[in-house]
Amino acid sequence: MPYKDPEKRKEYRKKNKDNIKEYNKKYYELNKKYRKEYNEKNKDKSRKIDWKKRGLIDSDNDNYDRIHNLWLNQKYCNACDIELTRANKRATTQACMDHDHETGLFRHIICHKCNLHDYWKIYFC
């Protein structure tokens, strides 16, 4: 806004209501386009950052890339051999990166159901 005084700002907004509305609409569309492009380019990066926030500890960035490639390419759950999906985040067959919460070390790529209920322990322990 060109004015610091609240009264002048209010007056400016009344006079330029259509211009402001048009500017906001253009800005919204450009921002929407930019966000879509950015998200497409950086979806893998954001997934790795999410894994770090959730407790995956690994000092070497190449290991995150290796784990991510494994997550992308693995077709079946390591525990129950069900086919993994990646589209629906609420599906029980959604691919999950399982890690030890005490040490932060990666263990398996398993389905959401096995990850949630620790069913994989039946097969590995």
Residue range(s) defining the domain that contains residue 6:
1-53
| Residues 48 and 102 both lie in one domain | no
Beta bridge partners of 76: 83
State the pLDDT at residue 60.
62
State the Cα–Cα distance between residues 12 and 56, nearest whole angstrom: 52
pLDDT at 119 over 80: no
| Residues 88 and 110 both lie in one domain | yes
Q: Domain holding 61: CATH number?
A: 3.40.1800
State the Cα–Cα distance between residues 45 and 105, nearest whole angstrom: 19
Phi, psi of 111 (to 5 degrees): -75, 160
| Residues 74 and 114 both lie in one domain | yes
Rounded CA Rg of the chain? 23
Hey, what amino acid is at 58?
D
Beta bridge partners of 98: 108
pLDDT digits (tens, 9 = 90+) for 82-96: 999 887 777 888 888
Its pTM stands at 0.56
When pLDDT is cut at 50, 70 and 90, the band that residue 125 belongs to is low
Residue 35 tokens read as 């966000």
| Residues 30 and 86 both lie in one domain | no
| Residues 62 and 94 both lie in one domain | yes
Q: How many domains is the chain partitioned into structurally?
A: 2
| Long-range contacts of 84-88, Cβ-Cβ distance < 8 Å, separation of 24 or more | 84/109, 84/111
